[in-house]
Amino acid sequence: MKESLLEILCCPLDKHDLELEDAEYDGDEVISGTLVCSECGERYAIEDGIPNLLPPDMREETPA
Amino acid sequence: MDLADRRGLETDVYQPAEDSQLLADAACRRIDDGLVLEVGTGSGYVADRIATETDARVIASDVNPHACRQARERGLEAVRADLVSPFVDDAFDAVAFNPPYLPTEEDAEWDDWMERALSGGESGREVIDPFLAAVGRVLAPGGVVYLLVSSLTGVDEVVERAGEEGFSAVAVADESFPFETLTVLELVR
């Protein structure tokens, strides 16, 4: 993901800002890292350049 | 036409079909630029068409990780998300959505990603209704929704529900097939 995407992303739970931690870059792309809610502290992983912003209770849903 | 016909061999990610094409055609005709979100992007086909044929910056989201990967492989900005929940208020000039809309008996459903891509529950509107309730928050002033609906889902019911959420709806494209008519609704407030 591009870092500029952060401007339009928010915590899916409380809609507060997200802060980027432990970012690894490939050029201007964030390839991995963690997005952390500045309010509730919930953590959202970025893997292979894709932020997973599902609310925590939906993360376990993995149909076959 | 039922889910079994639509499924084909692909089990992970919905691939572009007549509905995707109708939505992409309508959206590309009516979007010039700005920031656009495609919800439920699947293969990324519609988002890719908008990114290629207009001057808009396009974000592609899906609940399905396989879809997010396919969209990213096309060069799209992909976000794994439940509808519009992780996007800030007033963000988008347009939101496009080809939702899962086929009415499905509960015991006829498959518990896999393709079922999630196709089935709208018993009413056919179990994903559309929460989308309509949530999408207004992320639309910029003057923002527009392009929503694909099938006659199998009930276009009137969707228009009525959109009205309850403060939207007026206009059909901007439709196409008839033997078992259904597909319509693209443009929703504005």
Q: What is the DSSP letter of B183?
A: E
- Is B90 within 8 Å of B139 (Cβ atoms)? yes
- Chain B positions in Cβ-Cβ contact with residue A5 (cut-off 8 Å): 59, 77, 79
Q: State the residue range of the domain holding B111.
A: 3-188
- Is B45 within 8 Å of B18 (Cβ atoms)? no
In the predicted model, is pLDDT for residue B82 greater than 70?
Answer: yes
Task: Indicate the number of domains in chain B.
Answer: 1
Whether A11 and chain B come into contact, CB under 8 Å, resolves to yes
pTM of the model: 0.93
Tokens of B180: 């259904």
Q: For the purposes of burial, counting CB atoms within 10 Å of the CB of A51, is it exposed (0-12), middle (13-18) or buried (19 or more)?
A: buried
Contact B81 A15 (CB under 8 A): no
pLDDT tens column, A2-56: 999 999 999 999 999 999 999 999 999 999 999 999 999 999 999 999 999 999 9
- Is B114 within 8 Å of B7 (Cβ atoms)? yes
In the predicted model, is pLDDT for residue B23 greater than 90?
Answer: yes
Contact B87 A1 (CB under 8 A): no
Q: Please give the ipTM for the structure prediction.
A: 0.95
Question: In what side-by-side order are the strands of the sheet with A18-26?
Answer: A18-26, A29-37, A43-47, A50-51
Q: Which residues pair with A47 in a beta bridge?
A: A50
Mutate to test the interface with B, among A2, A6, A8, A53 (most CBs of B within 10 A): A8
Distance CA(B39)–CA(B17), nearest Å, equals 16
Contact B79 A9 (CB under 8 A): yes
User: What CATH number did the domain enclosing B156 receive?
Assistant: 3.40.50.150
Q: How far is CA B180 from the centre of its chain?
A: 17
Contact A5 B59 (CB under 8 A): yes
In the predicted model, is pLDDT for residue B157 greater than 70?
Answer: yes
Determine the residue type at A20.
Answer: L
Determine the residue type at B46.
Answer: V
Q: In chain B, what is the greatest distance between 2 CA atoms, to the nearest angstrom?
A: 44
Q: Which residues pair with A32 in a beta bridge?
A: A24
In the predicted model, is pLDDT for residue B5 greater than 80?
Answer: no
In the predicted model, is pLDDT for residue B10 greater than 90?
Answer: no
Nearest to B100 by CA among B127, B81, B80, B134: B127
